[in-house]
C-alpha cells in the first residue's frame, strides 16, 4: 500500500513536471502551439523566406512546443490586415507598407493607424521591377502610356509602388494605361503569351517569376524607373531608396547592365497580441542561426544582424526586444521603436 502510494505520487509529480515544469524555461506553452506566417505568391521570395523561418524554428519544435507553418497569400497588404485581424500570427511585409499601416496612410487611410502592428526584423531588399516585351516599344518609364500592364492584385505590395511611380511621373494609372490587377504568379506567363505588354513586381533577387518571364520565347527587358519624378518620390518618403535590378541573375533579359529603379525592404511583422515567448523563440532562432538561415535563399546573402534591424517603423515586439537585449543587438535599434 505504502509502495503504491509512493508510486502514484511519483507518477503525479512526473506528470506535472511534464505538463508544466518540463516546458520551462523555453517552451511557449504546455501543448504544441501552431503559428502561421503570411507570405506571398509561391514563385516570390516571401514564400521561401517563410519556409526558411519555419525550417529553422521547427528544428526546435520539441524545445519550444512550437510549430511554424507558412501560407501563400496575396502579399504585403493582405498580410498586414490578416495579422491585425488575428487570422495570421506573422507576416512578411514591404517596409513601405509597414510604415503606411503604422501611420494610417494609403491602404489604411480609412481604417486609421494599425496600433497593434509590431515589427521583429527585416530581411532582403526588394526592387520595383517593370518587365516589358521588347516588341512593345516601351523603352523609358513614360512609354508605358497606352499599354496593357499588370500592376498587381490589391493585396500586393507592388500595386502601391506602381501607382506611386506612375502618379509621381504624371501618369494617370486609371486612364493612361490599361491596368490589370492580377497576382504576380500569373504575370510571367501572361507576358510570354502576349496577353499583357508589361508587369510590375516588387521583389527580392534572384526571383523565380522574373526568371520565368525573361527566359521565354518572347524577348523581354527591364524598364528603368528613374528620372527627376522618381528622385522626388524617393526624397519624399523615408521608406523608398534608389535601387538596381542585378542583371547577373537574369542573363536572358535584353538589358546588358544593372537597371536603375527604386526599392524597399522585406520586413517581418506580428501583432502585440502574439505572446512574448513565441516572438522571442522565433527571433532567437533566426538570429542565432543566421549563417544557416542565409544559406536557405540567395537573396539573403547580404543579411547582417545590423542591417536586419533597419527599415522598420512599427514598435518592436517585446519578445524581439528581449532577445536583442540579451544578444547585445539593441545598439542597432532605432530608439523610437522601443516604445
Report the site for ligand GLU in 247-286 (rule: CB under 6 A).
Answer: none
Single out the residue of 50, 133, 157, 263 in contact with ligand GLU (rule: CB under 6 A): 157
Single out the residue of 38, 40, 50, 315 in contact with ligand GLU (rule: CB under 6 A): 40
Q: Does 125 bind ligand GLU (CB under 6 A)?
A: no
Nearest CA to 120 out of 293, 288, 333, 336 is that of 333
Single out the residue of 38, 50, 75, 125 in contact with ligand GLU (rule: CB under 6 A): 75
Q: Is the distance from CB of 165 to CB of 234 less than 8 angstroms?
A: no
Q: Does 94 bind ligand GLU (CB under 6 A)?
A: yes
Measured from the CB of residue 117, what is the shortest distance to ligand GLU in angstroms?
A: 15
**Backbone CA torsion sign across 251, 257, 259, 264:** positive
Q: Does 38 bind ligand GLU (CB under 6 A)?
A: no
Burial of residue 330 (CB within 10 Å: 0-12, 13-18, 19+) is middle
Measured from the CB of residue 265, what is the shortest distance to ligand GLU in angstroms?
A: 10
Measured from the CB of residue 229, what is the shortest distance to ligand GLU in angstroms?
A: 22
Enumerate residues 6+ apart whose C-beta is below 8 A from 262. Answer: 127, 128, 161, 165, 225, 230, 233, 234, 240, 241, 242, 243
Nearest CA to 101 out of 325, 314, 334 is that of 314
Enumerate residues 6+ apart whose C-beta is below 8 A from 122. Answer: 95, 265, 266, 267, 268, 307, 308, 309, 310, 311, 312
Q: Is the distance from CB of 208 to CB of 40 less than 8 angstroms?
A: no
Measured from the CB of residue 52, what is the shortest distance to ligand GLU in angstroms?
A: 12
Q: Does 126 bind ligand GLU (CB under 6 A)?
A: yes
Single out the residue of 27, 33, 38, 46 in contact with ligand GLU (rule: CB under 6 A): 46
Q: Does 192 bind ligand GLU (CB under 6 A)?
A: no
Only segment of 37-45, 132-140, 244-252, 323-331 that touches ligand GLU (CB under 6 A): 37-45
Measured from the CB of residue 160, what is the shortest distance to ligand GLU in angstroms?
A: 9
Report the site for ligand GLU in 193-212 (rule: CB under 6 A).
Answer: 202-204
Q: Which three cell numbers stand for residue 208?
A: 523565380
Beta partners for residue 127, in sequence order: 203, 263
Q: How many chain residues bind ligand GLU (CB under 6 A)?
A: 15
Enumerate residues 6+ apart whose C-beta is below 8 A from 21. Answer: none
Residues that bind ligand GLU (CB under 6 A): 40-41, 44-46, 75-76, 94, 126, 156-158, 202-204
Amino acid at each position: 500500500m505504502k509502495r503504491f502510494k509512493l508510486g502514484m505520487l511519483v507518477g503525479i509529480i512526473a506528470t506535472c513536471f511534464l505538463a508544466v515544469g518540463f516546458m520551462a524555461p523555453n517552451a511557449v506553452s504546455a501543448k504544441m502551439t501552431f503559428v502561421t506566417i503570411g507570405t506571398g505568391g509561391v514563385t516570390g521570395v516571401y514564400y521561401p523566406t517563410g519556409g526558411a523561418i519555419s525550417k529553422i524554428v521547427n528544428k526546435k519544435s520539441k524545445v519550444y512546443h512550437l510549430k511554424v507553418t507558412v501560407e501563400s497569400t496575396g502579399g504585403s497588404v493582405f498580410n498586414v490586415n490578416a495579422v491585425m485581424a488575428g487570422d495570421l500570427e506573422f507576416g512578411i511585409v514591404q517596409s513601405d507598407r509597414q510604415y503606411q499601416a503604422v501611420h494610417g496612410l494609403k491602404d489604411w487611410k480609412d481604417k486609421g493607424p494599425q496600433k497593434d502592428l509590431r515589427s521583429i526584423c527585416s530581411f532582403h531588399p526588394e526592387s520595383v521591377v517593370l518587365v516589358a516585351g521588347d516588341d512593345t516599344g516601351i523603352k523609358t518609364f513614360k512609354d508605358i502610356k497606352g499599354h496593357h500592364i499588370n500592376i498587381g492584385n490589391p493585396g500586393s505590395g507592388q500595386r502601391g509602388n506602381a501607382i506611386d511611380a506612375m502618379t509621381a511621373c504624371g501618369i494617370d494609372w486609371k486612364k493612361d494605361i490599361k491596368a490589370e490587377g492580377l497576382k504576380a504568379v500569373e504575370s510571367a506567363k501572361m507576358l510570354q503569351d502576349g496577353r499583357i505588354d508589361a508587369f510590375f513586381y516588387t521583389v527580392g533577387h534572384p526571383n523565380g517569376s522574373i526568371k520565368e518571364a525573361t527566359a521565354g520565347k518572347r524577348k523581354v527587358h527591364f524598364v528603368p524607373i528613374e528620372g527627376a519624378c522618381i528622385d522626388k518620390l524617393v526624397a519624399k518618403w523615408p521608406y523608398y531608396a534608389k535601387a538596381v535590378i542585378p542583371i547577373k541573375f537574369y542573363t536572358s533579359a535584353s538589358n546588358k547592365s544593372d537597371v536603375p529603379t527604386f526599392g524597399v525592404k522585406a520586413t517581418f511583422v506580428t501583432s502585440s497580441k502574439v505572446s512574448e515567448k513565441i516572438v522571442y523563440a522565433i527571433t532567437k532562432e533566426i538570429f542565432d542561426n543566421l549563417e544557416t538561415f542565409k544559406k536557405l535563399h540567395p537573396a539573403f546573402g547580404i543579411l547582417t544582424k545590423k542591417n536586419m534591424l533597419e527599415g522598420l517603423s512599427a514598435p518592436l515586439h517585446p519578445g524581439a526586444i528581449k532577445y536583442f537585449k540579451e544578444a547585445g543587438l539593441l545598439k542597432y535599434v532605432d530608439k523610437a521603436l522601443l516604445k
